[in-house]
Structure 1
């Protein structure tokens, strides 16, 4: 019995969502660690509902997605020397 061949699927929107989540968490972490005055205002920061948008250069995002796709589809080799 032959194994079924799955069509390759790669969703750049999913990768974008994952990267945006990481960028947002890192931005919030940096914001918390910027200085000692932020430690005194933890209660205010916790209750703040500010929207802190995180954006990325679209070309950088496309390149990241393509490199990730190549890595996944290629079996993990990042270059011909690996």
Structure 2
């Protein structure tokens, strides 16, 4: 293991914006329990797709879209507060 200094730029709920050494843009750190919930939603969606039941797909798909959208919005808001640019073009 190498000791490296990581700068905390902001936090929101179970998410944190961190600057890793030698990286141009900050990273989004997610708590393990939130990561596990995201994985379970993906698995639920996968199972619903495999079952072929379109109604079963709807809920986990919406949940996944909402979870990822919240992460992206948090990343963008924390980056703006920390006066950091985004590693992608943000559509308006």
Larger radius of gyration: 1
Q: When the two structures are superposed, what TM-score results if normalisation uses the length of structure 2?
A: 0.31
Q: Which has more helix, going by share of residues? A: 1
**Which has the higher relative contact order, 1 or 2, with Cα contacts under 8 A spaced 6 or more apart?**
1
Q: Which has more strand, going by share of residues? A: 2
